[in-house]
Each structure stands twice: as C-alpha cells, then as structure tokens.
Amino acid sequence: MSLIQQIFTDLLQLLFPRNCNACGTALFYGEKTICIKCLHDLPFTDFHLYNDHPAAKLFWGRIRVHQVTALLYFKKGNRVQQLIHQLKYKGQTDVGFLLGKRIGENIIRSGQKPDLIIPIPLHPKKERSRGYNQSQSIAEGIACILQIPIHTKLLTRKINTATQTKKSRFNRFENIKDAFELHKTQDLQHKHILLVDDILTTGATFEACGKLLLDNGLNKLSIATLAYAE
C-alpha cells in the first residue's frame, strides 16, 4: 500500500472508526473485522485434531457423522457470544467469512475434503427480515479455502420453528424434525456433504437435516460450526 493510500485509510478510520467485533475497541491499521489480540486470545477448541471430542460425542447414537468441526468454545458473556451476536443480528457477515476460512484451514489440516457445503437454511420469511443467512457467510469462508461449491437449493426450511432456547434436547428435536425439506436434484450416494451452522448446542437442527440427507442415500455427512456451547 502506498503512503497516500495508507493516509487515506487512516483518515477513513478516524472519520468512520471500525471496531473489533469481539471486544469493541477501535481497529488499528491492517486489522479487519476482529483485532489481532482477540484473534490470538479466542478460545479455539482444536477439535479438528482428534475424533472423540465432546462435539462429536453429541451425535453418537443419533446420526452417523464422519467429522464434526467446531472452531470456538461458546460461553455466556465471552467474546465468542459477542461475535455471534454481531454476525447474526448486526449484519457483520465478515465475521462469518473470516472465521469460516479458519474452519476451512482446520478441515484441510485434518485431511478431509467434502464435495459440497450446505449452510443450514433459515425459513424464507426469517431470511428476508434478516437480509441474509449467517450460516451462508461461514459457508462462503470455508468454500473459499476448500474450493468446493455451496448448495442452497437442496435443503430448505418449510416451518419457521419457535425459539429453541428453553426446550430440552428431545423437545428440540421433536420441534424441528419436520422443519426441513429435501429437494433431491442429484444423486447423494457418492457424496460427502458438509452441513454448516453458526452454533452447536443440543445438535437437534443438525440431527434433523443430517437425518433427512442420510435417509435419502447420502454417503458421508460432516458438520462444521463456528462455536460449540458446552
């Protein structure tokens, strides 16, 4: 970057300060979306390094999952909660893209390469009011690293389910199991699909989507999420 460009960028930052989406402090020159300190201090799970981690165990006895990747630990009040809030409700899709790239790098390091990515769909009404699907931004970051396509027409959400937060795991699955619809436009038999969502709590949403795909002949299912709530 030339000196003039640098001065111009600094001036822009002075006039329209951009803040870190995790800690809220002003970003320095060269920093984008999340400050260097937060990127360094974020609670990464390193789940991609082994198979029997808690997020993978969540699906044991429920659906057959090849690999579960969850990038960060989510705790109430931590920076990850703030990041997800910014991504979901404040239009900060850059957060999803940036951290999605990290997920993609971890998947490559673990020696996996799915054939295609499906972001967990929002109900069309919800997507219209939000203006975007936060899971798609994460999927775009992963796709950028893995160089694989994203499919958004294969799976759709036909029921706008009520908020999931106060339900038990069983009730959540009962509530969501018929919420999705599969539009089988291609043979799933030899495919490895990566399902992507912003947060993994009980796994009910992944279970509902994954079951639908596996029941319709999908060969291999993997799951990736930005955060895992313990």
Determine contact, residues 145/108, Cβ cutoff 8 Å.
Answer: yes
Residue 83 as a binder of Zn ion (CB under 5 A): the answer is no
Nearest partner of 112 among 49, 45, 189, judged by Cα: 49
Residue 226 as a binder of Zn ion (CB under 5 A): the answer is no
Binding flags for Zn ion, 1-40, as an x/- string (CB under 5 A): -------------------x-xx-----------x--x--
Residue 150 as a binder of Zn ion (CB under 5 A): the answer is no
**Hey, which residues does 119 pair with through a beta bridge?**
196
Q: How far is the CB of 36 from Zn ion (least distance, A)?
A: 8
Determine contact, residues 191/116, Cβ cutoff 8 Å.
Answer: yes
Q: What does each C-alpha distance from 205 to 114, 140, 195, 220 come to in angstroms?
A: 20, 20, 10, 17
Determine contact, residues 156/162, Cβ cutoff 8 Å.
Answer: no
Give whichever of 23 and 145 is closer to Zn ion, judged by the CB atom.
23
Give whichever of 25 and 168 is closer to Zn ion, judged by the CB atom.
25
Residue 98 as a binder of Zn ion (CB under 5 A): the answer is no
Q: How far is the CB of 59 from Zn ion (least distance, A)?
A: 32
Binding site for Zn ion (CB under 5 A): 20, 22-23, 35, 38
